[in-house]
Amino acid sequence: MNVVIGLVGKSGVGKTVVAEALARRLGVAVRHCGEVVKRRADELKVAFHELPKKEHYRIDAETIELARNATGLVIMEGRFLDVVLRGVPNVLLVHLTASREELLRRKEKRGRKKGLRRAGSDGGADSGELLHRRKGGKRGTIIVNTDSLTVSGVATQILKYIQAHFHDAA
């Protein structure tokens, strides 16, 4: 069976680390949509939060095409996958959430680890948010609050759901 697991949620909920954990357990690759956006912005020599709309549309079209042509199990993660993959068959959206306090704690920890502040972290919307936020996508087939779970615990919950609902996928 062909299934796309799309991890969606705000920055800091754990999309990237959960996607990597799932990929290791399942032996599959991950499409990190935010990294694709950052790479394209670097190529164009613009800040990622200022990437032109047409580039977002191009990246969205690539993501849709990859999801439609997926063979076996594919993992994707990105803040707006619920909007981008709306209407694409065989997509399991997993909406990761975290409390405001936990998001702030994680962002602070991430900032200390990297020793810098993220571009666009002044509270203003980046170009991706401006493009996608009003489209109101389906927020997820399953919702997992990551506040008190380890990365492994979140991955385990998702895998149990996949095994129960997509017998051939995991």
* 95 within a domain of the structure (yes/no): yes
Structural domain of residue 108, as residue ranges? Answer: 3-165
Q: Choose between 127 and 5: higher pLDDT.
A: 5
* 116 within a domain of the structure (yes/no): yes
Q: Which residues of the chain form beta strands (DSSP E)?
A: 3-8, 30-32, 73-77, 91-97, 142-145
Cα–Cα distance for residue pair 165/29, rounded to 1 Å: 21
* 65 within a domain of the structure (yes/no): yes
Query: Structurally, how many domains does the chain consist of?
Result: 1
Residues 6+ apart with CB under 8 A from 73: 2, 3, 5, 26, 28, 169, 170
Q: Give residue-wise pLDDT tens across range 42-97.
A: 999 999 889 999 999 999 999 999 999 999 999 999 999 999 999 999 899 999 99
- According to the model, what pLDDT value does residue 112 have? 63
* 170 within a domain of the structure (yes/no): no
Q: Choose between 122 and 18: higher pLDDT.
A: 18
- According to the model, what pLDDT value does residue 7 have? 97
pTM over 0.85: no
Residue 100 has pLDDT above 80, yes or no: yes
* 159 within a domain of the structure (yes/no): yes
End-to-end, the C-alpha distance of the chain in Å comes to: 10
Which CATH number belongs to the domain containing residue 37 in this structure?
3.40.50.300
Residue 121 has pLDDT above 60, yes or no: no
Q: List the structure tokens of 7.
A: 């991890």
Helix, strand, coil share of the chain (percent; to 5) = 50, 15, 35
Q: Give residue-wise pLDDT tens across range 13-33.
A: 999 999 999 999 999 999 999
Q: List the structure tokens of 71.
A: 């063979």
